[in-house]
Amino acid sequence: MNQNKVRVRFAPSPTGYLHVGGLRTALYNYLFARKNNGVFILRIEDTDRNRYVEGAVENLIATLRWAGLDYDEGPHKGGDYGPYFQSERLEIYRKYAEQLLSEGTAYRCFCASERLEKMRKTQEKMKLSSKYDRTCLHLPESEIEKKLIDGDPYVIRMKIPENRIIKFYDIIRQDVEFSSELIDDQVLIKSDGYPTYHLANVVDDHLMKITHVIRGEEWLSSVPKHILLYEYFGWEVPNLAHLPLLLNPDKSKLSKRQGDVAVEDYKAKGYLKEALVNFVAFLGWNPGTTQELFDLNQLIEQFSLERVNKAGAVFNIEKLNWLNFEHLRKKTEAEVLNMLKDYLSQTEYKNLQLDDAYLLKVIEAMRARVTFIKDFVEKGKYFFEPPIIYDEEIVNKRWREETPEQLKRLSEFFSGLTNPTKEDYEVALHKTAQSLNIGNGKLIHAVRLAVSGVGGGPGLYDILNILGKDESIKRIENAINRIKL
């Protein structure tokens, strides 16, 4: 399609959540539009009323906005080519269907669903491909008129030409061809008056001046029907690009059975939008360099359809976790602080009076150990409440009969400190260990267990410094009283 202005569309059905595959389709369309100073359109394909879910459109728009994929034309924004809901364009589809009927490239089919099901089962038994047998194609005009007068329900089917090889070029798959013998006389308008995907999307793509159709591989086998429709209407076919399937690690098609597939699920689990977008961009595309960390602007700069692979893309959750860790590390302290405060406001710690200075110390201590914002709390619970239980394995390994007495000596030393720094705690511990004639490690492990309840985490002196002298002493005394061998 030789137009100067690139125009692409993301055209989801409002059937519930936004699948990560849908996010990838939206992302690639968005990147391609932005890279080429084009227009990114959101069109809602809501003609399948049986699958329509209330609130799905609002959720879809909110999810795209969260991911940073803002559209130029579409619902609530308008544009020159609306309406952008297909359910509001029924008259348009009817007009074009009538044109096909009058030109003999489509016909009315009055067959009952029971007959079609019986025909399908017979074909299945005979190991034939399931195709309509064209009974209604040969109905006399008088019989059609009578059925229309009687109000018999019907669908409109397109007439597929016989013995044709339909060829087309796909930017990702190059030259593709299908035999028309394998193509069914596709229903274009259902008996409820609503169009099927095939008619609606061809009509809309033409009227909305779409230059590039970028969508999932599952639509590849539908392209010959669309090519024929473009031909019947005398319209130019847009550029086509069909994206590879998303696969589970076992190479099966990505599905809810093996894990989360909704963008909303990943958002709820605390994944950063930057990490998810970066991850999804690499599900089928690569920049041809070793760079793996990208923000949205870098993706726009680097993206090209020519670098999208044909092979299925494996959804690797470990890679997504690594990207989340890396993108979180790139955030400024102020950004992490705001996210942590927001997270804390939704937990049992929402009423704790923690000042920013305290939280910033926690962030500094924990930053290298967290993949998600929630990890600051889940892995560093002891910064928000004293330990109630102590890791049994660590108790058995690190707590000895003489430990309480040794900790008492250390606690006394801590009591004598004035406004101690991190280094003061370290000196105090070393001197206490020396006076007890034991290695520093014996005290370090016992103190860590006493103040945190666990055996790992940031440096002990960082923990003591963050908790402060009084809280540290209190926790040591609690552990002495509570841990029994």
* Best CA proximity match to 295, nearest among 68, 71, 72: 68
- CATH architecture assigned to 90-243: 3-Layer(aba) Sandwich (3.40)
Residue 227 has pLDDT above 60, yes or no: yes
Give residue 301's identity as a one-letter amino acid code: E
The Cα–Cα gap between 275 and 370 comes to: 14
The Cα–Cα gap between 296 and 283 comes to: 15
Residue 157 has pLDDT above 70, yes or no: yes
Instruction: Give the pLDDT band (50/70/90) at residue 250.
Output: confident
354-404 pLDDT, tens per residue? 999 999 999 999 999 999 999 999 999 999 999 999 999 999 999 999 999
160-186 pLDDT, tens per residue? 999 999 999 999 999 999 999 999 999
Q: What is the mean pLDDT of residues 55-78?
A: 95
What is the helix, strand, coil percentage profile of the chain, to 5? 50, 10, 35
256 is catalytic: yes
Q: Report domain extents, the chain.
A: 90-243, 386-482
304-322 pLDDT, tens per residue? 999 999 999 999 999 999 9
Residue 1 has pLDDT above 50, yes or no: no
Tokens read off for 396 = 């058995």
The Cα–Cα gap between 25 and 204 comes to: 18
What ranges in 36-140 are assigned the alpha helix state H? 56-67, 90-103, 113-125
Contact by Cβ (8 Å): 82, 9: no
Torsional class of 377: left (φ above 0), alpha (ψ -120 to 50), beta (otherwise): alpha
Residue 107 has pLDDT above 60, yes or no: yes
Residue 2 has pLDDT above 50, yes or no: no
The kind and range of the H/E element at 397 are helix 392-398
Residue 4 has pLDDT above 80, yes or no: no
Instruction: Give the pLDDT band (50/70/90) at residue 234.
Output: very high
Exposed, middle or buried by CB within 10 Å (0-12, 13-18, 19+), for 448? Answer: buried
Given the candidates 3.30.70.360, 3.40.50.720, 3.40.1280.10, 1.10.10.350, the CATH classification of the domain at 386-482 is 1.10.10.350
The Cα–Cα gap between 203 and 93 comes to: 7
pLDDT at 257: 63
Contact by Cβ (8 Å): 340, 359: yes
Instruction: Give the pLDDT band (50/70/90) at residue 258.
Output: low
Name the percent of the chain lying above pLDDT 70.
99
End-to-end CA distance of the chain: 79
Residue 284 has pLDDT above 70, yes or no: yes
Secondary structure class of 163 (helix, strand, coil): coil
Cis peptide before 83 (omega within 30 of 0): yes
The Cα–Cα gap between 278 and 292 comes to: 8
Q: Partners of 178 in the beta sheet?
A: 166
pLDDT at 433: 97
Average pLDDT over all residues of the chain:
95
pLDDT at 352: 92
Residue 99 has pLDDT above 80, yes or no: yes
Q: Output the pTM of the full model.
A: 0.92
Of 146, 253, 256, 269, the catalytic one is: 256
Residue 3 has pLDDT above 60, yes or no: no
Q: What is the mean pLDDT of residues 329-346?
A: 97
Residue 296 has pLDDT above 70, yes or no: yes
The Cα–Cα gap between 231 and 229 comes to: 5
